[in-house]
Amino acid sequence: MSKEPYKQYKDGILEKLRQAFGQKKEISRAAELIADSLSRQGWIYASGTGHSHLFAEEIFYRAGGFARVIPILDPALMLHKDASGSTEVERREGYAAELLKEYKMTENDVFIIASNSGRNAVSIEMAQIARKNGPKVIVLTNLKHSRSVISRHSSGLKLYQVGDVYLDNFGEIGDASIQLDGLESKVGATSTVVGTALLQAIMIQAASILLSKGIKPEIFNSSNSDSGEAFNEDLIAKYKPQVKIL
C-alpha cells in the first residue's frame, strides 16, 4: 500500500531538509557574512517577490530575531494587493533600481534575496545593485528549477550566479512536490518550509559567532510574553527612525 499523501509530503520535506542542511560551507559562509555585518553595526536587508517576500518577513520584528533588519516589502511585488499583477511586475527590468533608491546601503550591510525560480528581473537586479553598493549578497533559491529555465533578465544571468553565496532549497521544478491521481498539476510546495528553516539556522549560527567574539547582538523578544513587550519597546524606540515600518 502506498503512503498517504500527507506522509509522502512529510517524508519529502525531511529529505529536502537533510539535503539543505548538508550545505555546511554555504550555511557557515552566510552566517559569517551576517555576523561580520552586525559586528560593524551594519544592517540586514532582506527582500523577495511573490511568496518569496515571506523570507523578509520571517526575520523582521520576530521573536528571537535580530533587531537590525530592514525588510524591503513592496506591495506591487507581494500578493495582498494584486497577486497576478505581481507576477508581471517582478519581470520588469528597471523596477528594482527605482525601488532601492530610498535605501542607503553600504559595505557594512548584507542583503538577503530569495527567489525560488531565480529567473526574474527584479530579484536579479536587486542582487546586482546591492553588490554594486557594497553589501554582500546571500541568495536563497531552487537550483534545480533555476537551471531548468532561461533567465528573464537581459544579462542572461540567474539569481544564484549573482550572489556572494547561494543556498539551495532542493525543491522540485515548479516547487509543488506531490502528484495525486486525477490531477495534472502537483500539489504541496516546499520552498517556504525548507527556505525558512535554512534562514533561521543561518541567523542562529550568526548569533553564536557574534557571542564567540564577545558581541551581544540585539534580539527581539516575544511581544506576547509578560516581559517581552517592555523589552522590545527600547529597541523599537531606538530603530524606528531608521526602519519606517517598525
Query: Helix or strand or coil: residue 45?
Result: strand
pLDDT at 1 over 60: no
Q: Distance between alpha carbon 71 and the CA centroid of its chain, in Å?
A: 10
Give Cα separations from 94 to 70, 89, 121 (angstroms).
Answer: 21, 10, 8
The answer to whether 30 and 202 have CB atoms below 8 angstroms apart is: yes
Instruction: Give me the domains of the chain, ranges plus CATH numbers.
Output: 5-239 (3.40.50.10490)
Query: 130-167 pLDDT, tens per residue?
Result: 999 999 999 999 999 999 999 999 999 999 999 999 99
Query: What is the mean predicted confidence (pLDDT) over 172-197?
Result: 97
Give me the chain's average pLDDT, please.
96
Residue 188 predicted with pLDDT over 90: yes
Prediction pTM value: 0.96
Beta pairing class for 187-189 and 176-178: antiparallel
Residue 16: which H helix or E strand, with range? helix 5-20
Residues 11-53 pLDDT 10s: 999 999 999 999 999 999 999 999 999 999 999 999 999 999 9
Identify the band that residue 229 occupies on the pLDDT scale cut at 50, 70 and 90. confident
Q: pLDDT of 49-73, one tens digit each? A: 999 999 999 999 999 999 999 999 9
Measure the CA–CA gap between 224 and 203, rounded to whole angstroms. Answer: 22
Looking at residue 101, what DSSP letter applies? G
- Asked whether 45 and 111 are in contact (CB, 8 A), the reply is yes
**CA distances in angstroms from 2 to 6, 13, 159, listed in the order given:** 11, 17, 37
Where in 68-196 does DSSP place strands (E)?
Answer: 69-72, 110-115, 136-141, 165-168, 176-178, 187-189
Residue 81 has pLDDT above 80, yes or no: yes
